Amino acid sequence: MTSFKPGFLFSKSMDKRAFAGLMIIETMLAFANTFAGSFNVVYLFKKMDLELWAGPVYLMIGFAIATLVSLWMSWKPHLDPRNVMLAGLMFLMAEYACFLLFKDGWLISFSVGVMFGLWYPLFWTPFNILMAQMTGKGDRGVTYGAFFFVWPLVTFFAPFLGGLVIGWINYQALFALGIVIVLLTAVFVVAYRKYIPKDQMMKIRLSELGPRNIIAVLGEGGFEGVFWIGVTLVAYEFTQDELDLGILFSLFGLSAGIMAIILGKVSDRIQNRRLFAAVSAIASIPCVLMISLSSNLNEYALANGLLEFASFIMPVFIFAILTDKWEEAKNDSVLTREFLLDIGRTTTLALFLVVLYLGFTPRQGFLLAIPFLVMAAFAFEAKTRPTKLVAKARHADHVG
What confidence tens digit (pLDDT) does each residue in 218-266 have?
Answer: 999 999 999 989 988 998 888 777 667 666 666 655 555 565 566 555 6
Whether 201 has a pLDDT exceeding 80, the answer reads yes
Q: What is the pLDDT of residue 345?
A: 96
Taking the C-alpha atoms of residue 20 and residue 359, their distance in angstroms, rounded to an integer, is 47
pLDDT 10s digits, 96-122: 999 999 989 899 999 999 999 999 999
Q: What is the pLDDT of residue 264?
A: 54
Q: What is the pLDDT of residue 391?
A: 37
Contacts of range 41-48, beta carbons closer than 8 Å, 24 or more positions apart: 41/229, 41/232, 41/233, 41/236, 42/232, 42/236, 42/240, 42/242, 42/245, 43/99, 43/171, 44/105, 44/108, 44/109, 45/236, 45/240, 46/240, 47/171, 48/104, 48/105, 48/108
Whether 142 has a pLDDT exceeding 80, the answer reads no
**Mean pLDDT to the nearest integer, 317-343:** 89
pLDDT 10s digits, 353-383: 999 999 999 999 999 999 999 999 988 866 5
The model's confidence at residue 270, banded by pLDDT at 50, 70 and 90, is low
Q: Could you tell me which residue, 31 or 312, shows the higher pLDDT? A: 31
**Mean pLDDT to the nearest integer, 53-72:** 92
**Mean pLDDT to the nearest integer, 258-275:** 63
Tell me the HSE value of 217 on the side-chain side, using a 13 A CA sphere. Answer: 23
Reduced 3-state DSSP string for 173-223: HHHHHHHHHHHHHHHHHHHCHHHCEECECCCCCHHHHCHHHHHHHHHHHHH
The model's confidence at residue 387, banded by pLDDT at 50, 70 and 90, is very low
Rounded to two decimals, what is the model's pTM? 0.86
Task: Give percent of the chain with pLDDT exceeding 70.
Answer: 83
Task: Give percent of the chain with pLDDT exceeding 90.
Answer: 38
Q: Which of 41, 108, 5 is nearest to 245 (CA)?
A: 41
Whether 147 has a pLDDT exceeding 60, the answer reads yes
Q: Could you tell me which residue, 390 or 290, shows the higher pLDDT? A: 290
Pair 50, 105: CB distance under 8 Å: yes
The model's confidence at residue 186, banded by pLDDT at 50, 70 and 90, is very high
At what angle are helices 369-376 and 274-293 packed, to 10 degrees?
A: 170
Taking the C-alpha atoms of residue 73 and residue 31, their distance in angstroms, rounded to an integer, is 27
Q: What is the pLDDT of residue 267?
A: 54
Whether 3 has a pLDDT exceeding 70, the answer reads no
Whether 82 has a pLDDT exceeding 60, the answer reads yes
Pair 72, 195: CB distance under 8 Å: no
Whether 302 has a pLDDT exceeding 60, the answer reads yes
Distance between terminal CA atoms of the chain? Answer: 5
**Domains observed in the chain:** 11-386 (1.20.1250.20)
Q: What is the pLDDT of residue 354?
A: 93
